[in-house]
Structure formats: structure tokens, C-alpha cells
Amino acid sequence: MTLPQPRSVPRHLAVIMDGNGRWAERRRRPRVIGHRAGARAVNLCIDYCLQHGIEALTLFAFSSENWGRPEDEVGALMKLFLNALEREVDELHRRGVRLRFIGERDRFQPEILARMRDAERHTVGNRTLHLVVAASYGGRQDVAQAARALAEDVAAGRLRPDEIDEAAVAARMALADLPPPDLFIRTGGDHRISNFLLWQLAYTELWFTETLWPDLDAATLDRALDDFAGRERRFGLTSAQVAPVPSHLPDRNDA
């Protein structure tokens, strides 16, 4: 009898949480109400990862371009961000979640920066789930800072130009200590990656849904993981090269 194979689960899930504003507008409510509803979906996504053994979750919370949004919306987002840091960190720590932030931190207010540092220090030893929040982040900015770090190493004599390869660049990217995302999910209906993890998503499986972020539920995430489990990840090779080796070869007497 052939036993059913366990569903393939991504080690690292990356998510663009899109649709908060439209969710609120469809209800004729201020956009900030959508962002509050979106915060609940974040907790659901974290719960899902913990339940399914996903090791890393990277959430695109606030892009470097989002600073150009209306001042009142940015202010409301910063207040929500601060409140979440005050309210959620102890519970994340209790559940073994390590919290980390990537992006241009110097654009945040000192109070928020202090909370971010405290949250990272408080959870640094946790291993159950690595939660990365991309805030004031841009993929091009990430590549640029890696190039700058390489240039500084060359100028200081720590590195030769001919030693710069993909591994050297990857080691200086924001998520250098994590495996690249296996699965990328974007809610809200748009089919683009919007300057998110440009380097890291090179061979990531992409999955898009019309579901607005505040409407996220476990069934939507189940559909994404079911789709992921059915894909053949070749990384530039052929199907024959990546085919799994059979776990049981027939005995000569079986023929």
C-alpha cells in the first residue's frame, strides 16, 4: 500500500499585505479602519505559520515609498505600529517567535525606534518562528546597501573586486541569515511584487489572490499552500533532474 505523502510546506513565506485601504473604502470607513482590521489578519497569519511548521515569515508592512502617502494616514500607521509593538511582543515571545525589522530605520521616530530595538532584544533567542517585518523597506534600497557594503570592503582592502560574486552579494542583503522565500503571497488582486525582496524572490513561487488583506482566513492560506505543494520547483534544471529518487526499488524477484 502506498502511503499518502505529506504536503510540502514552505520553510519561508513572504507576504505583501495589500487591500487595507480598499477594504475600508468599500465599507465607507476611513482608511485607518482598514489598517486596524489588517492588524488582526497579521495575527491570523502568524498563528497559521506556527500551526503548520513554517519557519520564517516576512511581512511587507510599510514600503520606502509609503512615506509619500497623506500625512494623516502615515501618522495613523505609525501609531498602529507603535501600539502593536507595545501590545504584541510579550505574546510573540511566549510563543517562541523571534521578531526582527528590516528597512531604513532612521526615518522612524525615536520612540518607535526604541520599541523596535527592545522587541528584537527581547525575542532574539527564540527559534519557533522567525518573523521579519519589512518597514520603510525597498528591494532596490536593499540591493544598493549591499553594493555599498561591498564597495566599503574593497576600499578597505578586505575584499578584492574579483571576489564579488552572487554569494558575496547575498551575504550583505537584509535577509542573509535566512533561506530565500519559498512562497510569496500577495493579497488584494494586484499581480506585481512592488519593490519587495527583489534579490531574494529570484526563484520563489508567486501566488496572488483577490482577497483583501483584512479578509484573510485560514482557507485562503490553505489554497496557497495546496497550490505550492503541487508545483515543480526546478531552479533552472529539467524535470528529470529534480525528480525524487523512489524510496523503494523493486526486488529482482518482483519482475
Quick one: which of 13, 5, 11, 12 has its CA closest to 220?
13
Distance of alpha carbon 162 from alpha carbon 160, whole angstroms: 5
Distance of alpha carbon 195 from alpha carbon 141, whole angstroms: 9
Q: Which amino acid is at 110?
A: P
Largest Cα separation within the chain, whole Å, is: 76
Q: Is residue 181 within 8 Å of 233, Cβ to Cβ?
A: no
Q: What pairs with residue 13 in β-bridges?
A: 57, 183
Active site residue 66: yes
Q: Which amino acid is at 129?
A: L
Helices 71-94 and 110-123 sit at what angle, rounded to 10 degrees?
A: 20
Q: Which of 18, 20, 142, 182 is catalytic?
A: 18
Active site residue 18: yes
Distance of alpha carbon 43 from alpha carbon 240, whole angstroms: 40
Q: Which of 20, 43, 47, 66 is catalytic?
A: 66
Question: What is the gyration radius of the CA atoms in the chain, in angstroms?
Answer: 21
Stretch (H or E) spanning 100: strand 97-102
Distance of alpha carbon 215 from alpha carbon 24, whole angstroms: 11
Quick one: which of 218, 198, 60, 225 has its CA closest to 132?
60
- Active site residue ranges: 18, 66
